[in-house]
A = this chain, B = another copy of it.
Amino acid sequence: MTVDLQAYPGPLGETVASLPLVDHHVHGALRASVDRPTFESMISEGPKAPSAGTQFDSQIGFAIRRWCAPLLDLDPHASADDYWERRCALGEDEVNRRLLRAAGTANYLIETGYLGDAVLTPAEHAEVAAADAREVVRLETVAEGLLQRVASGRAFVADYPSVLAEATRSAVGTKSIIAYRAGFDVDPGRPSDDDVAAAAERLLRSLGDEIRLDDPVLLRYLLWCGVDRGLPLQLHSGYGDPDLDLHRANPLLLMPWLRQVESTAVPVMLLHNYPYHREAGYLAQMFDNVYFDIGLGLNYAGSQSPQLIAESLEVAPFTKQLYSSDAWGPSELHFLGSLLWRRGMSRIVGMWVRDGDWSRGDAERVLRLVGHQNAERVYRL
């Protein structure tokens, strides 16, 4: 990793720069180059590139031009056109190699359930990044695969737990996207096998070529199977998908479910959370098994990300927050997640050290906890 100390001013700069991060929720880097409209759609959560202007006119676009350009041998703040031209000239393999290695991420916990063909596998990603990678399995993807094969709803209910066990044999965690398929304001209870079988049966009869699992009963069943599996269970929460009704992905709506799950001690990992990151921190204080991150939001907020970092350091214990980029595709996202987190932490926590609120030793310990130790402990890495 090239340590760019200029990026991390203040008393914690060196510590911040050398942290071997665990990116506990991330996807693979792009397998092959894409055209510019596709690239622009990948640096937004909107469904497509804007009809007017360019997606580079955003915080994330400015951050790419500021921080990624020098790694592609351009000046900081190179124009979007120059950046794009240079990126194409280097090719995806070289761009990935440069940006992923500059990220300084030691371990990627890669969720493989979203458009997996377009991105590198965990093993490929690890090699390009010169890092470790472990897998996180999306509950819905396993279920959609099984639905392609079973003959009846009842068979689905019977088979899903063992199929999930098999699919997660070497995984370190599972993930649910119930937030954007149904919302968190669902019945928190475990559905009956009969209800699940009936819902699966309905879905099987209506199947076209593509399966989209969005029945709340089925989604709740998967969630509880995830709890039974016992691995840390990641939940998409808040910002991050055009499908969702954002206010129904407010993690507070999970409280009735969290009260039922707490006794299992299965770690519940609330992902992203923006703009509900304060709410996520509150849940992390209230529930012994709840953890959270502010990934994704940091990338999109760019130069404004330090405030989000500050807001994530309010009421949650420091043992309950993790680092994540939630990058998918362009390796700019993997790199910026790391850079902006390091830069924001060095600014915010460095200010507290300078003002005498925190000791330097405490600050460095918190950087290690959030940067990698909490993830290592919870995921048993």
Is A114 interfacial (CB-CB < 8 Å)?
Answer: no
A263 to chain B: closest CB distance in Å? 12
A253 to B54, CA, bound (A): 27
The answer to whether A48 and B275 have CB atoms under 8 Å apart is no
The answer to whether B297 and A304 have CB atoms under 8 Å apart is no
The answer to whether A50 and B304 have CB atoms under 8 Å apart is no
Is A94 interfacial (CB-CB < 8 Å)?
Answer: no
A33 to chain B: closest CB distance in Å? 24
Q: Which residue of B lies closest to A308 (CB)?
A: B314
The answer to whether A76 and B301 have CB atoms under 8 Å apart is no
Contact with A315, one of B59, B252, B282 (Cβ below 8 angstroms): B59
Is A86 interfacial (CB-CB < 8 Å)?
Answer: no
A48 to B63, CA, bound (A): 42
The answer to whether A287 and B46 have CB atoms under 8 Å apart is yes
Contact with A255, one of B245, B252, B317 (Cβ below 8 angstroms): B245
With A245-B255, A252-B246, A288-B46 as known contacts, state yes or no: A313 contacts B304, CB within 8 Å.
yes
A287 to B76, CA, bound (A): 30
Is A93 interfacial (CB-CB < 8 Å)?
Answer: no
Interface residue count for A (Cβ, 8 Å)? 69
The answer to whether B48 and A288 have CB atoms under 8 Å apart is yes
The answer to whether B275 and A282 have CB atoms under 8 Å apart is yes
What does the 1/0 interface line of A343-381 toward B look like (CB < 8 Å)?
Answer: 000000000100111110110011001000000010000
**Cβ contacts under 8 Å, A141 to chain B:** none
The answer to whether A314 and B304 have CB atoms under 8 Å apart is yes
What does the 1/0 interface line of A19-53 toward B look like (CB < 8 Å)?
Answer: 00000000000000000000000001111101111
Q: Which residues of chain A from 306 to 361 have a CB within 8 Å of any chain B CB?
A: 307-308, 310-311, 313-319, 352, 355-359, 361
A289 to chain B: closest CB distance in Å? 8
A sample of 14 cross-chain residue pairs with beta-carbon separation below 8 angstroms, ordered by A number, consists of A44-B285, A46-B288, A50-B288, A51-B288, A62-B357, A62-B362, A63-B357, A76-B359, A245-B256, A246-B255, A247-B253, A302-B357, A307-B311, A308-B314
The answer to whether B300 and A314 have CB atoms under 8 Å apart is yes
A253 to B246, CA, bound (A): 9
The answer to whether B239 and A46 have CB atoms under 8 Å apart is no
What does the 1/0 interface line of A226-253 toward B look like (CB < 8 Å)?
Answer: 0000000000000100100111001011
Q: Which residue of B lies closest to A255 (CB)?
A: B245
Q: Which residue of B lies closest to A369 (CB)?
A: B57
The answer to whether B319 and A53 have CB atoms under 8 Å apart is yes
**Cβ contacts under 8 Å, A48 to chain B:** 288
A253 to B248, CA, bound (A): 10
**Cβ contacts under 8 Å, A51 to chain B:** 265, 288
Contact with A52, one of B46, B300, B319 (Cβ below 8 angstroms): B319
Contact with A46, one of B45, B286, B352, B362 (Cβ below 8 angstroms): B286
